[in-house]
Amino acid sequence: MEQGAYNPYMTAQTQFDQVAEQINLDPAVRALIRQPSREFHFTIPVKMDDGGTRVFNAYRIHHNDARGPVKGGIRFHPQETVDTIRALSMWMTWKCAVVDIPLGGGKGGVICDPHDLSMGEQERLCRGYVRQMVKNFGPAVDVPAPDVMTNGQHMLWMMDEYEAITGGHYAGVITGKPVGMGGSLGRREATGYGVIYTLAEALPKLGMDLAQTTASIQGFGNVGEYAARLYETLGGKIIAISCWDQHDRKAYTFRKKEGLDIGRLAEIKDTFGSIDLDKARALGCEILPGDAWIAQEVDILMPCALENQITSEAFTRISGQVKVICEAANGPTTPGADKLIREKNIYLIPDFLCNAGGVTCSYFEQVQCNMNYFWPLDEVLDKLKFKMTAAFHAVHDLAWQKSLYMRDAAYIIAINRVAEAVKMRGWV
């Protein structure tokens, strides 16, 4: 029942309301920041390769910009919904606040499946998106980035269209661009590495040695792959990875109890994170149903793909061995499952802290573009690790001192920072 009724925006507001009650948040502030400040709903006509025209529905939502320009990805997905984008824009506000970077939350999306579009059609779609939003984009207003099924090439087309319309060079208008065209080194690794930076800080608090732990991962796109790579480098063993198979249009779980070779798996996946079934079998992988990842006997679960994966029903399948859940995806856990996680005393690293490495490195890219000076990879990753570990300790210490659930502690820090900015600006 929870699966069918899931609405990410309701989840985001429920999580917010619970913490707003705890901290006795001012009613006016609460009313202001529990919903987006502005929404753009628009259509994009695209000339298709066959000579016809197809019209795509698209969105851009600004949740709150009290702390700085809104920041957030643009998703291409055939099942995209406006409530998903509302929720993600809200989570982006908290994400920027919890790692203490001067940005607000935004998110965008187009209802489409890029697998079914040629590169030329995708380019025209990207440029059409910018033409609709150009008056509300800009380095000091709204800075988009890649998200589900978008990449650096899409962002470069968008930047080029913005510059063509405005008549200047504004590399800081968008992030996630290719290196050499205003992109930052480390951006590809940032979200996945950030997940492991927080995990590496959490495990000693629990008396656990990362090199002695096992993990199961859902998702093998950019986030899942680089989280897996760093976790493996630090000595951890991944026994299962679940990912979507584009050919069969369903997910599979790839399992190898003695440990998967992440480098080899990365070599046999496509650009959308799908692993080749036959080549995986040749590497000794068992092929299991897509949802089998959550039932593995491991120490750590890492949902790294879409929202609504750990529901009350799915929780009943989690092994008693699991000690930690790292929410590398946005909104992977429902409020009902949150209650069960608390009761089982599983340590949770909440999504808007755990996966904040991506937006943090996007902020670094923006800073570098505005300076027109770019840092070497080691410097980017050092700064990323510093930001992520400082944010983790702030949340963990508050949770420990006040006997709070980690998600609630992260929300308290983030909401208080946004509320303070709103009040200081005199908005309420």
Residues catalogued as catalytic: 107
Q: What residue has token string 């700064």?
A: 383
Rounded CA separation 150/117 (Å) = 12
Task: Point out which residues pair with 302 in neighbouring strands.
Answer: 217
Instruction: Find all residues with CB under 8 Å of 35, minimum gap 6, and list them.
Output: 13, 86
Of 198, 270, 206, 257, nearest to 230 by C-alpha is 198
Residues 361, 367: Cα–Cα separation, whole Å: 10
Say if CB 331 and CB 308 are below 8 A apart. Answer: yes
Helix, strand, or coil (residue 180) = coil
* Count of other CB atoms within 10 angstroms of residue 298: 25
Residues in the chain: 428
Burial of 145 (0-12, 13-18, 19+ CB in 10 A): buried
Distance of CA 220 to the CA centre of its chain: 13
- As a whole number of angstroms, the distance between CA 197 and CA 414 comes to 20
Q: Which residues contact 197 (CB under 8 A, 6 or more apart)?
A: 357, 384, 385, 388, 389, 392
- Rounded to whole angstroms, the Cα distance separating 424 from 421 reads 5
- Which one-letter DSSP state was computed for residue 184? P
Alpha helix stretches (DSSP H) within 75-138? 82-98, 119-133
Question: Which residue is it, tokens 């927080």?
Answer: 198
Instruction: Tell me the torsion sign for CA atoms 396, 231, 228, 208.
Output: negative
For the packed helices 377-402 and 187-205, what is the interaxial angle rounded to 10 degrees?
40
Residue 365: both structure tokens together: 């890219």
